[in-house]
Amino acid sequence: MQQQAPAAVPPVTFVTRQPSPAPSSTQSVHAASGAKSRRKALPPVVRGVPPPSEINRPIAPYAANKLRLQQYVDLWYFTEEGLSRAGGYQAYEGDNSVTLAQASSAIVVTAPTPPSKDARRDEELTWDQVSKARTSFLSYAKGYGWKAEHLEMFSIFFICLDAHPIRNEPKGNETVIQYQAHFRRQWHLTCEQQNTAAFDLATISDDALRTIRAKIIEQHTWATLQSLERARTSILSQPKRRSVSPHGRDAPYKRARASGPHLSFPSRREHTLRSDWREPAYSSTGQGTFFLEGAETTERVVCAICLGLHTPAEVVKCTATKLWNGRPARCNRIGNRIQSDTGVAICINWQRPSSGISSINYHIDPANFPCTWGTFHAFALLCWRLPPGSQGAVRDVAEAYRIIPLHHSQWPGTVVRLGDDQFAVDTCAAFGVGSHAGLYGSLADACTDIMRARGLGPMAKWVDDTVFLRIRREHLVSYNQQRLDWREQIVRHGGARHSGGRLWFGGDELPDGSIDEFVEDMRFPLRDLANASPRSESDTLYSYSLSDTDRISSSLGIPWQPEKDHPFSAEFPFTGFLWNLDGTRSVSIPRAKADKYIAAIDVWLQKPTHDLKEVQQLHGKLWHASLVVQHGRAFLVNLEAMLGIFHDRPFVPRTPPRHTAADLKWWRTTLSLATLSRQLPSPCAVWDPLAYSDASSGVGIAVVIRDHWRAWRLLPGWKSDGRDIGWAEAVGFQFLVHTVLVVSRAQHGCAFKVHGDNRGVVEGWWRGRSRNHPTNEVFKRIAAELEEQQSRVLTRYVQSAANPADGPSRGVYPSTTLLLPPIPVPAELQPFIIDFDAPPTRAEARACSQGRSPTVEPKGTHSSDELRRRHKQNEELDEINFHWRSTYCQAKRPPRATFRDGLQLNPSILRPACAARERLLKWTPSSSRRQRDANGDASQLSPEDIQRITDVSAFAWAESTLGTYGTGLLIFHVFCDLRSIPEGHRAPADELLILAFVASIAGSYAQSAISNYVAGVRAWHILHGLPWNVDKNRYDAALAGAAQLAPPASKRPSRTPLALQEIASMASSFTLADPLDAAVWACLCIGFFSLARLGELTVTTQKSFRADLHPSRASVRQEAHRDGSEVQVIHLPRTKSAVAGEDISFARQDGVVDPWAALDNHFAVNQLAPSVHLFAYRKPSNNAIIPLTRRAFLARVKVAALGIGLPNVYGHSLRIGGTLEYLLRGLSFETVKAIGRWKSEAFTLYLRKHAQVLAPYLQDNQEVLGELSRHTIQLPPVR
């Protein structure tokens, strides 16, 4: 039946002005003659005025008249062609002609000349012509007096269309041409027919654009189909010969045709299923289903790109990048194809592009065409749950994709041009198209659901393979009850789930933390069909047989391939594996497939280089094998690394990574084993031995199992040849697994859980491999040991603060009574690792004598960075916790005061290893918060409510304060451990214990440090709801005595102020055009005049910037006093003393040190986004944006200070110097205190040079004193 063409886009026609009633014909003639007599006289000449500078080319009189009347006119008149044709017209005088209408007595004003015969409508122009004509159109319209608002509207109208993104889409230019012509006419028509305001042309309607584009594409598609139909009729009318032998696929290809290509096309397929589908419409002359498997060497294919003929080996190397019509594309050979009488197959481009070249699959998202299929683990769970005695059968659908007819709207995507007037159209689904797997999968889902509704099952499918599982009849009731339970789980968790192109069904969480997967929704129960039809005696034992599947599939028209049927058996092939449902419940790699994989490895090893396709093929085979050979995943890393080196040059052979050959030889040896099988993965109980591992690059490795531990030291030189902290963490993981398996005597075949705080190791083990070669070698050893024990380990991530192995890995060793038995260190690890209590090696002793950490290289180490991050008071205390250092290296260190060396905290479950800032919260006293009210009655609050009080109270102190307090709490408990103070006496602590603690550490620390440490113990009491009973007077006396005994080294010299003159002298050393110098100079000037703390203006590290903690460019604003005085204000989101944030401000200054000008210069040199750090700068070498760190600031300022002879400049020097400068200017003490945002008398610590400040008040000059008396000057006492 002939199809009807879709409705064409309605042509946009010219609208002619309708005549209106007019005087009689006699009056018309007199009016015409009178008009000539009243012609206007020439105007007077103004002497000295030159003619216009612009020379306008004449336009056609027709177009000029339209412009005069402000009516629609085609843009052709303003193109180069239109203007050239207008040059022959006589100059237009501006008069209209009056004519008598034939059908009425109306007089109609008409143009003096008709439209040009050569004129073309706007729809016939190109967009380039429209773009050039619009400029002339607007220029002439302006000359004919069009209003400015209309000219502006038309100008914006053309500009918006020119920049519209729809122009980048297919048929985009045609769309905007149609749009502008239609709506420009419509606008003029609206203006003529209405007195109200017309619509705004400058506002583009995206909906109208899409509608016009859709109609244009529909017309183009219809025209193409009509052309193809004519070509098809022409081809079919020629004599043709069959491309397939009458004997089917097994007949050899006998001869090549010398005549032109005559294709064998079937008549258009009906959308209903037929009984004779098994005869393929397009068949191969070779033996295989796929081209590359069944093609003969003499077969040639027509390339869809260059239209040339290729052999199978050449087709994938076609270098053409343009179609015959000039459009960019790429040639690829995929799947089944159309076959011609000459043996020429049709190659259609489906694949995704490279280097930006488009293709069919580029526009398809397979996720929009989902279907169900059984993954390896989902199908393994299905098989494991079958009752005893179950069996499976496998059937294959013949020409699965080819039975899916394509809608005619999809045919343009399957067209291949064969010659000047010959085309081929593939009207059925083909392998390789992104959506066709889902198209066939949807049909297959419907078929399997129909069979399940009839009581067959369980069932699963993989592309065109369907596996039928059946159970013995005596298990039907119990198994259906189990299916009902699974159905409830699926419904409870939301039913079907959509992941990419797959639909699946999820249940409850399994013991290993994964989600239970099902291949169906368990909607239908299994039925007993044993009596539905005659069957063998063995079949009567089961719920159904293959004859039941045939009865349903024949009615549905499913074309099975009988030669590929595998009857019901306890062992059956599916997805390339052999599944065994007998007592072993196992899955294995068939011997034939293993030999095939070995042959592929041998071919690979014979060549030094390989292209992308070869890598993909071998990797795919071995990845498939790794589903059974699980420990083989670590031997795929090098192939996976090679997959990423081809980029956009897939056909250029590359050399494999260095260790690839060794991995493949391992695979070859493994695949040569007599049996390659594993038990079906199944849910099993997971044992949690409370096992943890950790590593510290500054010390070593540790494992903890419950309360017991073991540790090892890292030897000098371990961090080399790719070994890093990840490798050390992996070794700790290996030691932990070995300890659990051997020392803890884990049961054979068990699954257990271990914990670590390195995500690279924890999550890397989920994948079974690591990209880092040394770490991957560790994974191989772990996998081999687990394979030998038939055990399984699950890794779980834990934060470092909650990892019990964190302390021992850093040298904070618990009691040796809790040591785990030693384990042998593998030979390959002995050069890098030694037991924690072993005597120091020569390399360690040499490193210790040089004053550096024995475990790391001399240059920047992780442990030193870790120490620098801690509070300044933590360094001297935490370093002595490295037990072996204090034992073996004590003689190499300078002597210190007693009590600082040899500190060792006794292990206790009340005090887990954690950062100093976390000790107040995580170190718990033996007695908890009182849970009774003031009357002694039991509180009605839950334990969670009580704990919430503690958690919230912990936010009362700043993080730096928590670090200091945590150090004090550590020293307090060490003091108590040395004196065997019971836990119950430590909290709440009595006054005598606290005073003894102060007296014990007096002489070793400064008064301020002791005060902070006691404050930490007090805060610990407050946080955990315990009373603090210490008399303030007696405590102050003890603290005053400790101040007199403070060691001289604890007293730092006062920070000297940085004066304004000194900053001015340093200005010449800054290059203000340099990004870093511009940022540092601005920070220096602003910090000085705003009295800001340096830490408020800079960040600690380049990665520590946070918009909620640090000022950004958006934090700057300007404010002014009502007298006109202006200041710049910077909002600090959070400060040490104000969680809600504070403002700092500064004004313009005379001279070179002007913070206002410095900030403007910084913003001009470093032009960055408002959201970045206020003093961020751009690094010239790589254009990276770097926040200004405290370290970088001080380093640059110290260089400038040394240039003028200043040896020491500190962070506080700016704040102190700014304070002194304002006081010297005569500002009052309270005013300066307000500028610096001091809320206490701590302000006095920043005051220097009292004599200079007091000098004006000490002079014997009444005028000076009178002037000064006008200001309220309050000075602090001189110290």
Q: Which of 761, 774, 669, 642 is nearest to 721 (CA)?
A: 774
pLDDT at 597: 95
pLDDT at 165: 86
Instruction: Check whether 670 has a pLDDT greater than 90.
Output: yes
Q: Which CATH architecture has domain 1060-1106+1152-1269?
A: Orthogonal Bundle (1.10)
Query: Long-range contacts: 645-654, Cβ < 8 Å, 24+?
Result: 646/611, 646/612, 646/615, 648/354, 648/355, 650/354, 650/611, 650/612, 650/613, 651/316, 651/317, 651/611, 651/612, 652/611, 653/609, 653/610, 653/611, 654/609, 654/610, 654/611
How many other CB atoms are there within 10 angstroms of residue 781's CB atom?
Answer: 19
pLDDT tens for each residue of 1249-1260: 555 666 665 566
pLDDT at 904: 66
pLDDT at 407: 85
Top pLDDT among 539 and 11 is at: 539
| Domain parsing of the chain, residue ranges | 55-218, 238-253+260-268+275-363, 376-396+435-588, 591-679, 686-888, 906-932+939-1050, 1060-1106+1152-1269
pLDDT at 383: 94
| DSSP category for residue 803 | -
Instruction: Check whether 138 has a pLDDT greater than 70.
Output: yes
Look up residue 755 and give its two tokens: 């914990």
State how far the Cα of 1245 lies from the Cα of 799, in Å rounded to an integer. 41
| Bridge partners of residue 509, in order along the sequence | 515
Band (pLDDT 50/70/90 cuts) for residue 698 is confident
Class of 686-888 per CATH? Answer: alpha beta
Instruction: Check whether 282 has a pLDDT greater than 50.
Output: no
Residue 574 neighbours by CB under 8 Å, 6+ apart: 379, 392, 394, 460, 462, 465, 467
Q: What is the mean pLDDT of residues 984-995?
A: 91
Highest mean pLDDT among 461-465, 1053-1057, 1207-1211 belongs to 461-465
pLDDT tens for each residue of 845-878: 666 555 455 554 433 333 333 333 333 333 333 3
Instruction: Check whether 450 has a pLDDT greater than 70.
Output: yes
Task: Please report which helix (H) or strand (E) contains residue 27, including its range.
Answer: helix 25-37
Task: Please report which helix (H) or strand (E) contains residue 737, including its range.
Answer: helix 725-738
Which amino acid does the sequence have at 1203?
A: G
**Contact of 679 with 751, CB cutoff 8 Å:** no
Residue 962 neighbours by CB under 8 Å, 6+ apart: 916, 917, 918, 920, 954
Band (pLDDT 50/70/90 cuts) for residue 1208 is confident
State how far the Cα of 181 lies from the Cα of 190, in Å rounded to an integer. 14
pLDDT tens for each residue of 633-646: 889 989 988 988 88
pLDDT at 1005: 85
pLDDT at 447: 93
Instruction: Check whether 467 has a pLDDT greater than 70.
Output: yes
**Least confident range of 338-347, 390-399, 608-617, 687-696:** 338-347
pLDDT tens for each residue of 193-241: 766 678 888 899 988 998 998 888 878 777 766 665 665 555 445 544 4
pLDDT at 418: 66
pLDDT tens for each residue of 890-937: 333 333 333 344 456 777 767 887 888 888 888 888 776 766 666 666
Q: Which of 1183, 1164, 993, 994 is nearest to 1079 (CA)?
A: 1164
**Contact of 344 with 300, CB cutoff 8 Å:** yes
Band (pLDDT 50/70/90 cuts) for residue 1206 is confident
Top pLDDT among 71 and 899 is at: 71
| DSSP category for residue 393 | E
pLDDT at 863: 36
Q: What is the mean pLDDT of residues 465-474?
A: 95
State how far the Cα of 926 lies from the Cα of 939, in Å rounded to an integer. 20
Query: Long-range contacts: 1177-1186, Cβ < 8 Å, 24+?
Result: 1177/1075, 1177/1076, 1177/1078, 1177/1079, 1178/1075, 1179/1075, 1180/1075, 1186/1102
Instruction: Check whether 779 has a pLDDT greater than 60.
Output: yes
Band (pLDDT 50/70/90 cuts) for residue 306 is very low
Packing angle, helices 759-767 and 773-789, rounded to 10: 60
CA 730 from centre of chain: 26
pLDDT at 194: 63
Instruction: Check whether 368 has a pLDDT greater than 50.
Output: yes
Q: Which of 610, 605, 573 is nearest to 588 (CA)?
A: 573
Band (pLDDT 50/70/90 cuts) for residue 1246 is low
Look up residue 1210 and give its two tokens: 């500190």
pLDDT tens for each residue of 412-436: 777 776 666 777 777 888 877 888 8
pLDDT at 268: 32
How many residues does the structure list for the chain? 1279
Band (pLDDT 50/70/90 cuts) for residue 280 is very low
Instruction: Check whether 324 has a pLDDT greater than 70.
Output: no
Angstrom CA distances, 308 to 257, 330, 341, 415, stand at: 16, 14, 17, 16
pLDDT at 29: 37
pLDDT at 24: 40
Pairing of strands 751-756, 792-797: parallel
State how far the Cα of 98 lies from the Cα of 109, in Å rounded to an integer. 5
Q: For the purposes of burial, counting CB atoms within 10 Å of the CB of 854, is it exposed (0-12), middle (13-18) or buried (19 or more)?
A: buried
Q: What is the mean pLDDT of residues 1127-1132?
A: 92
pLDDT tens for each residue of 1075-1127: 999 999 999 999 999 988 888 899 988 888 888 889 999 999 999 888 888 99
DSSP string of 1039-1086?
HHHHHHT--GGG-PPPPPP--HHHHHHHGGG--TTSHHHHHHHHHHHH
Residue 261 neighbours by CB under 8 Å, 6+ apart: 302, 340, 341, 342, 344, 418, 419, 422
Torsion angle in degrees (nearest 10) through CA of 359, 365, 368, 374: 110
Look up residue 174 and give its two tokens: 């045609």
Band (pLDDT 50/70/90 cuts) for residue 675 is confident
Top pLDDT among 879 and 1197 is at: 1197
pLDDT at 1054: 64
CA 1214 from centre of chain: 42
pLDDT at 1248: 55
Q: What is the CA radius of gyration of the chain?
A: 44
183 φ, ψ (degrees, to nearest 5): -80, -20
State how far the Cα of 158 lies from the Cα of 973, in Å rounded to an integer. 80
State how far the Cα of 598 lies from the Cα of 608, in Å rounded to an integer. 18
Band (pLDDT 50/70/90 cuts) for residue 474 is very high
pLDDT at 56: 62
DSSP string of 466-486?
EEEEE-BGGGHHHHHHHHHHH
Band (pLDDT 50/70/90 cuts) for residue 949 is confident
pLDDT at 265: 31
Residue 29 neighbours by CB under 8 Å, 6+ apart: none
Torsion angle in degrees (nearest 10) through CA of 1083, 1089, 1091, 1095: 0
pLDDT at 292: 29
pLDDT at 1263: 59
Q: Is the dihedral of CA 66, 68, 72, 76 positive or negative?
A: positive
Which amino acid does the sequence have at 1112?
A: S
1166 φ, ψ (degrees, to nearest 5): -105, 85
Pairing of strands 686-695, 751-756: parallel
Q: Is the whole-model pTM more than 0.85?
A: no
Give all strands (DSSP E) within 305-408, no chain letters: 309-310, 344-346, 371-372, 391-396
Task: Please report which helix (H) or strand (E) contains residue 599, including its range.
Answer: helix 591-605
CA 375 from centre of chain: 26
Instruction: Check whether 631 has a pLDDT greater than 90.
Output: no
The overall average pLDDT reported for the chain is 77
pLDDT tens for each residue of 562-609: 999 999 999 999 999 999 998 889 999 999 999 999 999 999 999 999
pLDDT at 414: 79
**Least confident range of 493-507, 528-542, 846-860, 1258-1272:** 846-860
| Bridge partners of residue 835, in order along the sequence | 712
pLDDT at 1: 40
Task: Please report which helix (H) or strand (E) contains residue 613, including its range.
Answer: helix 612-626
Top pLDDT among 1068 and 911 is at: 1068
pLDDT tens for each residue of 1134-1181: 887 777 788 999 999 988 999 999 999 999 999 888 889 999 999 888
Which amino acid does the sequence have at 1101?
A: T
- Write b or e for each residue in 128-158: b if 16 or more Cβ atoms lie within 10 A of its Cβ, otherwise e: ebbebbbebbbebbeeeeeeeebeebbeebb
Band (pLDDT 50/70/90 cuts) for residue 969 is very high
How many other CB atoms are there within 10 angstroms of residue 159's CB atom?
Answer: 13
Instruction: Check whether 751 has a pLDDT greater than 90.
Output: no
Top pLDDT among 729 and 1205 is at: 729
Residue 1013 neighbours by CB under 8 Å, 6+ apart: 964, 965, 967, 968, 969, 971, 972, 1001, 1005
| Bridge partners of residue 1177, in order along the sequence | 1186
